Structure 1
């Protein structure tokens, strides 16, 4: 076996191969008029507060919304001075409850470094499913760590948090 850079002729051949199957079978990404469309690039950021503090104590952001499979990725952070007080749990519970209540999203997912034991514990406490591991995917201080992917489906959320 050998390989070489693809030529224009090769690209035309590859396009013909694609006609044998439907695009819907080759991608889970959004489609428009039979062509792959970009995800919705909107990034929504929510600031979270507690009664006794004027500044935010947490941030929740969701993005990479895919209307075809009704999913979105999210990330979060708690102000360092307010960690280990249950704020992350309350923040995620409130944000996910609101998203599942006001959108048609079926799945929310996130990625966290294997070194982030607090985040892993929080996601597991909220009954997220560990979907997979991206091996040695996250460089930190010269070391490569695994990244863990977690998700929760609407029906799982409703079952555990209704």
Structure 2
């Protein structure tokens, strides 16, 4: 009787492990460079129309939720988590997600729209940042729109926020006939 119970528990453990590994395998990871398309209000040295401001690292979860991390261009180590495991809203073109954060007196609102194109996504982002003027901040607020195209990446690249392995180009050596 005891062996039968152990056997049942073992099989349940295998089934649950298999289901969790399958769910994890169906998550999709993308790297999405972000280009400023329109400055709505405010000024910031990083905000210039036509410039790439940074890269979004996006994880589409199997349960129709999303996690987005952002890294400013030139900042090698700092990843900012903008959205964490938040449900996606389906619309006529794809998905959208909205998030509002308040930290001290600062407020940041981000709205993303994703449109599926083949095995990738195109996206638009609207960010609105507000903070009261103080001795460190001369800018009170800004709002901009941006867009970009997402490239599929591996889980490690998403977690680290950088390219893990770059394939090397092989040199082709042509032999001359003598």
Whether these two folds match at TM > 0.5 is no
Q: Which protein has greater RCO, CA pairs closer than 8 Å, 6+ apart?
A: 2
Greater share of residues in helix = 1
TM-score by length of 1: 0.30
Greater share of residues in strand = 2
